[in-house]
Amino acid sequence: MKITYHGHSVVLIESAQANIVIDPFISGNGQSTIKPSDLPHLDYIILTHGHNDHVGDAFDLAKTHDATIIAVAELADYLASKGLKVHPMSIGGGYNFNFGRVQYTIAFHGSSYADENHRIIYAGMPGGILLMIEGKTIYHAGDTALYSDMKLLGERYDIDLAFLPIGDNFTMGPEDAVLAAEWIKAKTVVPVHYNTFPIIEQDPQAFVDKVKGDGKVMASGESIML
């Protein structure tokens, strides 16, 4: 299974069963080294929440690839109203797809979508993602503050790879993310959601150096095999 990071919070998973992209903010993402058209065929798009820097290119990608968007119910309903294929979920719920299992976790943040007319659309609760696929567990925390129930994730799940935001201001910063990494006990922790905008500039290597265990800075476009 190939996992590729494309800057900000964009994670592409290429497995034998399906190709999946999480939070496909590519156009307008100065950290991305690709165009949306460079992505392989997509079967599913998973959204952690409704903010434009996470929904990103989901509309166009879903149409181009005839992909199903997995999202929290309110956001999924809005996307369905635009003619897109969706699978609605809610926080704490999980579902067994043909490629594996997706479960939404808590994320303390906001979630709304600014449409083409600059109207703010309520997008339900934000979430994190637990993705169980090919015998591995991937945790994408989405945009979140540190919260103590992250300890439960470390106790209940054997997490192989975790993507944690470190940008501060809108999400937890590096110090809180170090504690989050300790609590979730992932085998490998990758920092995300930093340096895309001046207000979230951080030193990812400094974060990784403080992580107990295996921390890894992934350059945009870099892949790892899991």
pTM of the model: 0.97
Nearest to 107 by CA among 149, 168, 137, 169: 149
Residue-wise pLDDT tens digits, 52-109: 999 999 999 999 999 999 999 999 999 999 999 999 999 999 999 999 999 999 999 9
Separation in Å, CA 84 to CA 44, 60, 145, 221: 12, 10, 30, 27
Q: Is the pLDDT of residue 34 over 90?
A: yes
Quick one: tokens of 57? 């290119």
Residue-wise pLDDT tens digits, 137-151: 999 999 999 999 999
Q: Is 74 left (phi over 0), alpha (psi -120 to 50) or beta?
A: alpha
Query: By mean pLDDT, which of 4-8, 41-45, 60-64, 111-115 is the weakest?
Result: 111-115
Q: Is the pLDDT of residue 116 over 90?
A: no
Quick one: tokens of 186? 């992932």
Question: How high is the pLDDT of residue 117?
Answer: 86
Question: How high is the pLDDT of residue 178?
Answer: 98
Q: Residue 188's CB: how many other CB atoms inside 10 A? A: 20
Q: How far apart, in whole angstroms, are the C-alpha atoms of residue 89 and residue 76?
A: 8
Question: How high is the pLDDT of residue 58?
Answer: 98
For position 74, which CATH number holds? Answer: 3.60.15.10
- 3-class SS letters over 128-148: EEEEEECCEEEEECCCCCCCC
Question: How high is the pLDDT of residue 123?
Answer: 95
Structural domain span for residue 30:
2-225
The total of structural domains in the chain comes to 1
Helix (H) or strand (E) holding 224: strand 223-225
Q: How far apart, in whole angstroms, are the C-alpha atoms of residue 202 and residue 89?
A: 32
